[in-house]
Amino acid sequence: MLNNIGLPGLLLIAVVVLVLFGRGKISSLMGEVGKGITSFKKGISEGEEENKRDEIKHVEDVHHADLPEHADQGTHPKTDLKADKDRV
Flag whether 51 is in a domain: yes
Work out the percent of the chain whose per-residue pLDDT is above 90: 27
Contact assessment for residue 35 and residue 26, using Cβ atoms and an 8 Å cutoff: no
pTM: predicted TM-score of the whole model, two decimal places: 0.46
Flag whether 40 is in a domain: yes
| Residue 42, domain extent | 33-58
How much is the pLDDT for 64?
A: 63
| DSSP secondary structure code for residue 72 in this structure | S
Average pLDDT in the chain: 78
Flag whether 70 is in a domain: no
Contacts of 68 (CB under 8 A, 6+ apart): 76
Instruction: Indicate the number of domains in the chain.
Output: 1
Flag whether 64 is in a domain: no
Which tens digit of pLDDT belongs to each residue from 51-86?
Answer: 888 888 877 776 665 555 555 555 555 555 555 555
Flag whether 37 is in a domain: yes
